[in-house]
Amino acid sequence: MFGARAQSVFHDPQERFSFHTPRGWTVTPMNANCVQLSEGSDYITLLVFEGGEPGLFLNSIAAQTAR
């Protein structure tokens, strides 16, 4: 991941997913359905949405961020 060796593995407390954390990055749980990875001014936000139609959700995000 990111061309770096992983330093640890993050496990979702609800056991829905896990991932290797890149060396130097910090994992911060934002709420029960959101985790943020950061390193300096760079960040990645991982959101978990269960059920529903993925296309409608992505269109909703696109409409909000295009403003």
pLDDT digits (tens, 9 = 90+) for 24-41: 999 999 998 889 999 999
Residue 65 above 50 pLDDT? yes
Domain boundaries, the chain: 6-65
Structure-block tokens of residue 65? 């961020």
Return the closest-CA partner of residue 49 out of 27, 5, 16. Answer: 16
Please say if the pLDDT value at position 5 is more than 80: no
Q: pLDDT band for position 52 (50/70/90)?
A: confident
Average pLDDT, the chain: 85
Rg value, the chain, Cα = 14
For residue 40 the two structure tokens come to 């300096």
Which pTM was predicted? 0.66
**Rounded Cα distance, 51 and 60, in Å:** 15
Continuous segment of H or E residues that includes residue 21: strand 18-22
67 pLDDT above the threshold of 70: no
